[in-house]
A and B are shown apart, each in its own frame.
Chain A
Amino acid sequence: MKPAKFLASTAKDFTLNLDNDYRYMKASYYVSLHAEILGNDVIPSSENIIDSSRTPILLLRASRAGIPTVPFVVTDSVKKISNEVGFPAVVFAVNPFIHEGYRTAYNRTALYRAVKSLGMNYKFAVCAQPLKGEMSTFKSFFGKCSQDEEARGIARRVYQLFGIPVCKLHVQRIEGKAYLSGLQSVEKSELTPTDLKTISHEVLLLAEQGDHISG
């Protein structure tokens, strides 16, 4: 079912909201919201759509659920990041306009630039994390990914907690262990035919639970 048709419907059933772009106020957000207001069980919930895209909340909830995460600070102060996080630092945006990726700052000048641009000229705070290993980014479909066991564990548990069917995960690998660092939407162009096949396979498995699928 297309999002527009679902938003006009009163279908009361389990709802799988399948999209590549789960951002607040985008069509997929309103689909989950509509399903919730109808009283349907829905994957993902509107709350999880918001929380998973706010890096500090993603990490807070994940660590409380026992998922390995990197420590972070939320601030707009370069001084605080240099003192408490140190270098190199990974910086994520926490504002309404920037949704993709992170920046790595190896020195104070780079950190100034990152905080200035990701904080939209100090108007918003950023989320900074120490970089102690290597960053790696991969796609996760229904909590499954083609990575090593460490990363697969993170993807599976993040999906159990937030239920975002299609997303990209940023993890930090430190001495063979993986730690959750961030989550973001996948661009349509990033989805390969194999990815689409994986997604439809997973959808078929889920379809046994319900048949109202929108996306």
Chain B
Amino acid sequence: MGRIACFVEKYNFSDPREEAALENFRRAAEEAGQEFQFLFREDIDEIPRYDAVFIRATTDPLYTSYVVSKTAWELGMRVIDDPESIKICANKIHQYALFEKYNVPRIPTIFLNKDELHHRKITGVFETLGKPVVIKAPYTSFSRYVEKAACETSFRDIAKRYFKKSDTIAIQKFVPTQFDWRVGVLNDQVLYVCKYMIPKGRWKHGAKLRGKPTVIWGRTVSMKKQNAPLKLRETALKACRVVGKGLYGVDLKEVDGDFVIVEVNDNPSIYAGYEDLRDKDLYSKIIDYLTE
């Protein structure tokens, strides 16, 4: 019998759908004859007692979750998300540089360094990518730290804020669509496919209401993975091969019948009734991967 530690933080239990998904993981593990325990921040020193670690808390090289991942990795355990995947997915500059190197279809992207924030460069960016552009901080997640700019003033304003934490940021072409495709991938296999709808009148999946702190999320429409376009699945897998062999949520946009990568995320959201609706076996597949 294998012992799986699921590293979580308190916020992982704040949404009932996420809590239900975590419960589904536990059930899948127990059905497979494995032990499944939640591991909280204060129990990190218990990692060596387990055989595998499954991280559900938000990942970033600067968060505790990276310490958990690297510790497990150093001890030779199987871990989702592994430290290299966290490093690549938590930094979009790293990720896009790899996509460029390995020729993965992606949204046109320009990197901007802190000392390049001047009129000539900004004008050049607008000429290359058109107006508006999407400005992305490398550490973006859950639709945060991604903003649109249509003029130099707002461009400078957003860029300056993102430069506080990172010396390089990404500028992308604005590609409006009704939804983003989300392809869940594990170990080079498609796990599930769904559409993250963009709320009406907005341009990203999670959008803020003007002047309010609450975020409204678009609907999640799931579909059987076999019914998703083959090209979509192939593009998603190609992008993941550049990142690693773990668990990823790939965001893609469909432009004139072609698929381009928006980003590959480690630690993808799995909410009961959303991502798992058509592919209930995703829980057992992840558990099997952790214990094989």
Q: Are these two chains actual partners, yes or no?
A: yes
Residues of chain B with a CB closer than 8 A to A3's CB: 113
> Which residue of A27, A37, A46, A75 contacts B41 across the interface (Cβ within 8 Å)?
A75
**Given A74-B45, A75-B41, A77-B42, residue A60 in contact with residue B62 (CB < 8 A):** no
**Given A37-B97, A37-B101, residue A25 in contact with residue B41 (CB < 8 A):** no
Tell which of B61, B84, B93 has the most Cβ of chain A within 10 Å.
Answer: B61
**B-contact 0/1 string along A45-64, CB 8 Å cutoff:** 01100110010110011001
Contact A25 B45 (CB under 8 A): no
Contact A57 B93 (CB under 8 A): no
Residues of chain A with a CB closer than 8 A to B42's CB: 75-77, 80, 125
List the A residue with the shortest CB-CB distance to B165.
A25
Interface residues on B, range: 20 to 34
Interfacial residues of chain B within 27-53, with CB under 8 A of chain A in the complex: 41-42, 44-45
Contact A47 B87 (CB under 8 A): yes
Contact A4 B116 (CB under 8 A): yes
**A-contact 0/1 string along B70-109, CB 8 Å cutoff:** 1100100000000110010001011001100100000000
State the interface size on chain A (CB cutoff 8 A).
Answer: 33
**Given A64-B74, A125-B44, residue A27 in contact with residue B63 (CB < 8 A):** no
CA distance A60 to B76 in the complex (A): 13
**Given A24-B62, A75-B41, residue A57 in contact with residue B67 (CB < 8 A):** yes
Report the minimal beta-carbon distance from B242 to chain A, rounded to whole angstroms: 11
List the B residue with the shortest CB-CB distance to A47.
B87
Residues of chain A with a CB closer than 8 A to B165's CB: 25, 96
List the A residue with the shortest CB-CB distance to B115.
A4
> Which residue of A25, A50, A80 contacts B139 across the interface (Cβ within 8 Å)?
A25
Contact B167 A50 (CB under 8 A): no
Report the minimal beta-carbon distance from B111 to chain A, rounded to whole angstroms: 8
Tell which of A30, A50, A56 has the most Cβ of chain B within 10 Å.
Answer: A30
Task: Mark A residues whose CB is within 8 Å of B.
Answer: 3-4, 7, 24-27, 29-30, 33-34, 37, 46-47, 50-51, 54, 56-57, 60-61, 64, 73-77, 80, 94-96, 124-125
Provide a sorted-by-A list of 17 A–B residue pairs whose CB atoms are within 8 angstroms.
A3-B113, A25-B165, A25-B167, A30-B167, A37-B101, A47-B83, A47-B87, A50-B61, A54-B62, A54-B70, A56-B67, A57-B70, A74-B44, A75-B44, A76-B41, A95-B63, A125-B64
